[in-house]
Homo-oligomer: A and B are copies of this chain.
Amino acid sequence: MGEKKRVAVLGATGAVGQEFVQTLEGHPWFEVTQIAASERSAGKKYLDAIRGAGGTIGWEVGGEVPEYAREMVVRSIEQVEAGELDLVFSAIESGAARDVEARFAAQVPVISTSSAHRYDEDVPILIPGVNDGHADLLDAQRANRGWKGWVAPLPNCTTTGLAITLKPLHERYGVRKVLMTSMQAISGAGRSPGVPATSITDNIIPYIANEEKKVRVETRKILGRLEGGRIREADVRVSATCTRVPVIDGHTESVSVETEGEADPREAGRLFDEANASASVAGLPSAPEKYYAFHTDPTRPQPRLEREVGGGMTTTVGRMEREELFANGLKYVLFSHNKKMGSGKGAVLLAEMLLRKGKI
């Protein structure tokens, strides 16, 4: 690969930013040369900048703060020097992200976990292993906007697992309808303040603002086709009910689909095994050994058991059965790690894919 690419992490002190900092430790292709966060953190060493108020966990992504980052001085967003970067990972919250990311993208590629640009026409929502081909839209975007770089956003973490599991089914059978109920982890709501423990312990909150619409819109775009310089949305109708449950990490989703072709639950299981064999992400540093884990044991997936599989990058499918209420129906339960494949580590995998494709 020659020299490592120089990358910055924006929003490095938050939950997603910490995932970036951790994932990029010792990365073979990328080197973090600048980290940035809000004005309040600017000028502090990273270790001091993440320190929480008494009793809260300052470094919340497990293990220790990577050696390389501990003493790095956090910059304000304004202090980041884009000219000395090959890539920006942005974990900025969606409100501020639109402007900040556009500003950087004018000079350098930006991979983002925010929703700010997701719904723009010339912006693909990329999941490595699902719609790698949509990456070509980045060239159009660059041209359109007169930028040197581009913005490539990840989907919402609830969309991620859904789109990944729909992909082989869609290719084989043609998915027409998707009815999904999610049971989402508390870590999906971030950390400051995130979900108060008094609200979710021994409880379920049956609503996550805007989440259901995001899942609907993003799934259609991700499963769509890039034609004539724009993405033609897949003709898939999606209905989602999103709930929060007292699980720390990892989203579980109960999914029913209607397909155009005749679908068989046993064959559907084999599709995931076959998809593993041909996964486009093979060989990328952050890719799991198996893109999909498929279980016939009806008690799987379980968040505590699946969370660590493939370093959090494997998507698990179980309980594959016929859905009697739909024509050619299938139903299943999926697990996807919202903090890994659905967030920082997934963004790094995307960067790897784009680098291999020559986009970075």
Contacts and interface: CB of A to CB of B under 8 A. Distances in A.
Interface stretch (A154-162, A237-245, A274-282): A237-245
B254 A207 contact: no
Nearest to A318: B206
A202 interface: yes
Chain A contact-residue range equals 35 or more
A284 interface: no
Interface in A156-193: 177, 179, 181, 183, 186-187, 189, 191-193
A194 interface: yes
Contacts of A195: 55-56, 196-198
Contact of A239 (B53, B192, B256): B256
A194 B191 contact: no
A15 B198 CA distance: 11
A85 interface: no
B198 A196 contact: no
Contact of A198 (B60, B203, B237, B325): B60
A323 B212 CA distance: 12
Given A206-B299, A239-B324, A254-B181, A199 B197 contact: yes
Contacts of A189: 55
Contacts of A324: 237, 239
A221 interface: no
Contact of A55 (B177, B208, B246): B208
A205 interface: yes
Interface string A94-112: 0000000000000000000
A209 interface: yes
